[in-house]
Amino acid sequence: MTTAEELMTDPTVVRWLRSAGFSTETPAEQLAQVRMLASFCNHEGKMPQEILDTCLLEKTDDGQYEISIKGRRLVNAAIDEFATTLGLSKHYEIAAGNSIRGFLVHNGVLIQGKPSVP
């Protein structure tokens, strides 16, 4: 089990918050962003780096990762499944999933969302 408070110093979380521009928001706002990730981590029984590792293949000699298409699809589906367990309206369910996708995106995993067109 992990908590949002513990994850606030995780390098992948720090990188996400900084890259997404959340690091300039109040500590409470930042914590709110991380809470969803912490819940997802607990749902999956994994730490943030382990979730990233599912989506990325080993670093090559030139220091570049490759994306695991299969792993990325699995995580994307797991995010959708997790979001449905939250008991939220569709709008907030999508936002919850996208909060976690934002963590992946800002750590180098190219995931494009599906728009919910008004």
Partner 1 sequence: MEFREVVGTRRSMRFFAPYRQVEPEKIQVILEAANRSSRSMNADYVKAVVVNRDDLTPEMRDSLRNPTTSLDLDLAPVYIMWFINLKYADGTKERLKEQIDHGILAASHGWSHAYVDEVIQKTVIEKITGDDFRLNWMGAIEAGQAIANSLLAAYDEGLGACLHNFTDTEVRKMMNIPDHWRRAWLMLVGYPLGDKADGGQRPRRPLSENFFTFKGDQLEPLQEDPAVTQRLRETRMIQEPSPLPYRHKEIRGFARMLGLPE
Residues contributing to the site for partner 1 (CB under 8 A): 20-21, 67, 69, 91, 94-95, 98-99, 101-102, 104-105, 110-118
Would you say 59 or 73 has its CB closer to partner 1?
73
Least distance (Å) from partner 1 to the CB of residue 1?
25
Residues 82-107, buried b or exposed e (16+ Cβ, 10 A)? bbeeeeeeeeebbebbbbbbbbbbbb
Would you say 60 or 112 has its CB closer to partner 1?
112
Least distance (Å) from partner 1 to the CB of residue 101?
4
Q: Which two tokens stand for residue 43?
A: 């749902």
d(CA 16, CA 10): 10
Count, in order, helices (H) and strands (E) of the chain: 6, 2
Would you say 1 or 101 has its CB closer to partner 1?
101
Would you say 47 or 105 has its CB closer to partner 1?
105
Least distance (Å) from partner 1 to the CB of residue 61?
22
Closest to 109 in 3D by CA, of 77, 68, 74, 81: 68
